[in-house]
Amino acid sequence: MVPNEILKDMSDDTGIAVQWVKENVQPFLPDTHIRGISVGNEILGVTEIGVQQALPGAIKNLYNALNKLQLADKIEVSTPHSAAVFANSFPPSSSTFKEDVLVYLKPILELFSQNKVPFYVNFYPFLVYKGDPEHIDINYALFKSNSGIYDVKTGLHYDNMLDAQIDATYTALEAAGFGDMEVVVSETGWASSGDKDEEGATVENARTYNYNLRKRLFKKKGTPLKPKIPVRAYVFALFNEDLKFGPGSERHFGLFKADGTIAYDIGVTGPKSAAASPSSLSLKDIQARCWSVPYTVVLMACSAVLLLALS
């Protein structure tokens, strides 16, 4: 991932983008299969205005750098967004992007549309539930049996929050003029622990969310609005980030603990586990089956994400 801190410099100078690729990408090829590079993380609607302004230029210069080094046809360039880019997202049919975000988002969407790059967005039903546990059915957030929600405008029924969030994104893209762009969930997950006031942050809920997400993705089904486009999503995170600042939940999103032992079982075993049973998978098995596909260039294992959808 291109760090947020250097986006301004990269936006101003293609040479900086070329140098970054030479130092952070080329030395690891072809031994490492690098599928994509993220330019920053959750920039629009979140970071200070100067960094938001720099994002389109940084992305364009990284494209130029990859072209110059003859890597553009091998490596995808994108940038993941947070829910902060939306002016509103409920019901899904009413979703739009914030006007001040669109100023910087539209040129990015135009470039990605030309290169057939999906719209990457980070969605955390856990955070939505944590923010309003009195009015949100936790079963709706966890893919468990519930009455769901009904979108009056489209006549579509949603039995889980993630599908609704994805369709809200498709609606916003359509309104912005990019209705053909695929949506990919670049981060999603559930905290297995947290502070006392962080409702829902339990091992059982984390296991339930990621296990049910895994089952949902393996079906290769679309959403109510886009039934023919299978949902693709990455789980955040592979390991707990025990040194991370912020609420306690921030340190407990991993499928594995910081020492490599399993945090909870969804059918994936860690490097310190015993011999895997026929019903479980080791990290080596996942790699062999191409389920682990890096969306960004990850230099620290604790930042890794695991693609649970078959590629």
Per DSSP, 12 falls in state H
State the sign of the Cα–Cα–Cα–Cα dihedral 103, 105, 71, 29: positive
Q: Are 162 and 92 a contacting pair, CB within 8 Å?
A: no
42 is catalytic: yes
182 is catalytic: no
Order across the sheet with 233-236: list the strands. 119-122, 183-188, 233-236, 305-307
In the set 5, 23, 42, 110, the catalytic residue is 42
Question: Taking the CA atoms of the chain, what radius of gyration do you get in angstroms?
Answer: 19
E strand or H helix that includes residue 125: helix 125-131
User: What angle is formed at CA 213 by the lines to CA 210 and CA 217, rounded to 5 degrees?
Assistant: 140
Give per-residue burial for 250-279: e unless 16+ CB within 10 Å, then b: ebbbbbbbeeeebbbebebbbeebeeeeee
In the set 99, 174, 187, 250, the catalytic residue is 187
Name the residues annotated as catalytic. Answer: 42, 187
